[in-house]
């Protein structure tokens, strides 16, 4: 049986490598848990915030990396109902993809995307009800377990993964977890009862998962590592263990993410605010940073 350390090593060893420099711009979101717009769809309450934020990143030339659990494929049987509920989001993601500015990682809730045949069947095309034709969506897309951003000049690396490699139950027993969520916890979730298998709802397990990832980061000479999974945003200061978490897109009334721009890293939040005239607007707030990536480099 592989340990969490070996699973993280494997994700690193098989990762896609993306070269970048100080002109590169990245936005990392994870744990969107896009659903079918039913009462159990946690993404639905933040979808306008998410769509607006992603649109701004598209306009401003960012590369979007989604770090797992983008689609909620435990509660929902297939991608079709999710796509129909949030078509505008996927059309915007397609704009990133068509310009080679989209990379995606699979997490435990969308672990079926490990299988290229599944991805081809469900994500390569979509049915356009207006024309009655199948049209291209994410043709030839590949989901990865890990991605390494490698700086062209400094050779500094930033490792991206979902983080469930440090969560034995949700990595090895994900099919059983999916069954429990579909049959038991989805109807209970509608009544406000939380799923205890989720590390975001189980603080003790969350701490264990974070400790395992930190131990792995130490073993990799304090490699900058950005994950999701636990839904808890983390932003260390230079000189500390370089363990980052972008949070999630299902916080109450807000989404959090991590940006890299001009060789600097920041933790950001998008939520709503009220103007003096009583209008709601969607605003971006920097929670932590920016900090220079090079300041996390060990020698």
Position 194 scores a pLDDT of 56
**Do the Cβ atoms of 61 and 68 come closer than 8 Å?**
no
Four-residue CA torsion sign, 59, 98, 83, 232: negative
Cis before residue 147, ω within 30 degrees of 0?
no
Query: 96-100 contacts: CB < 8 A, separation 24 or more?
Result: 96/58, 96/63, 96/64, 97/138, 97/141
Which domains does the chain possess?
4-296 (3.60.21.10)
Four-residue CA torsion sign, 208, 212, 215, 217: negative
Position 174 scores a pLDDT of 62
pLDDT of the chain, 299 residues: tens digit per residue = 469 899 999 999 999 999 999 999 999 999 999 999 998 899 999 999 999 999 999 999 999 999 999 999 988 888 999 999 999 999 999 999 999 999 999 999 999 999 999 999 999 999 888 888 999 999 999 999 999 999 999 999 999 999 999 986 777 766 677 767 767 665 656 555 555 555 556 678 889 999 999 999 999 999 999 999 999 999 999 999 999 999 999 999 999 999 999 999 999 999 999 888 888 899 999 999 999 999 997 75
Closest by Cα among 251, 245, 247 to 272: 251
Position 267 scores a pLDDT of 98
* pTM of the predicted model over 0.85: yes
How far apart are the C-alpha atoms of 278 and 219, rounded to whole Å?
Answer: 52
How far apart are the C-alpha atoms of 247 and 233, rounded to whole Å?
Answer: 4
Position 1 scores a pLDDT of 47
Position 204 scores a pLDDT of 81
Q: 64: Cβ–Cβ under 8 A, 6 or more apart, which residues? A: 26, 27, 29, 54, 57, 58, 93, 96, 101, 102, 103
Q: 281: Cβ–Cβ under 8 A, 6 or more apart, which residues? A: 272, 273, 274, 275
User: b vs e for 118-138, b when ≥16 Cβ sit within 10 Å of the residue's Cβ?
Assistant: bbeebbeebeeeeeeeeeebb
Question: Strand 16-20's sheet: what is its strand order?
Answer: 16-20, 146-151, 157-161, 224-227, 243-245
Query: How many angstroms separate the Cα of 299 from the Cα of each of 32, 133, 239?
Result: 36, 56, 12
Bridge partner residues of 128 (DSSP): 133
């Amino acid at each position: 049986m592989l340990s969490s350390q070996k699973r993280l090593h494997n994700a690193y060893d098989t990762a896609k490598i993306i070269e970048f420099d100080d002109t590169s711009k990245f936005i990392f979101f994870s744990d969107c848990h896009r659903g079918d717009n039913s009462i159990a769809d946690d993404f639905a309450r933040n979808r306008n915030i998410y769509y607006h934020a992603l649109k701004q990143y598209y306009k401003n030339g960012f590369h979007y990396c989604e770090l797992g659990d983008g689609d909620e494929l435990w509660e929902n049987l297939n991608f079709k109902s999710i796509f129909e509920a949030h078509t505008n989001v996927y059309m915007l993601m397609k704009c990133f993809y068509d310009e080679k500015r989209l990379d995606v990682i699979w997490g435990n809730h969308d672990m079926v995307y490990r299988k290229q045949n599944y991805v081809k069947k469900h994500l390569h095309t979509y049915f356009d009800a207006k024309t009655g034709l199948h049209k291209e969506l994410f043709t030839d897309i590949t989901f990865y377990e890990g991605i390494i951003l490698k700086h062209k000049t400094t050779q500094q690396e930033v490792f991206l993964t979902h983080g469930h490699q440090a969560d034995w139950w949700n990595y090895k027993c994900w099919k059983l977890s999916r069954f429990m969520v579909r049959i038991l916890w989805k109807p209970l979730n509608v009544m406000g009862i939380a799923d205890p298998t989720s590390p975001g709802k189980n603080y003790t397990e969350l701490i264990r998962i974070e400790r395992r990832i930190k131990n792995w980061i130490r073993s990799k000479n304090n490699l900058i590592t950005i994950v999701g999974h636990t839904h808890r945003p983390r932003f260390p200061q230079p000189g500390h263990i370089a363990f980052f978490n972008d949070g999630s897109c299902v916080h109450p009334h807000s989404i959090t993410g991590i940006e890299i721009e001009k060789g600097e890293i920041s933790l950001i939040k998008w939520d709503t605010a009220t103007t003096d005239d009583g209008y709601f607007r969607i605003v971006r707030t920097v929670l932590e940073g920016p900090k220079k990536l090079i300041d996390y480099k060990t020698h």
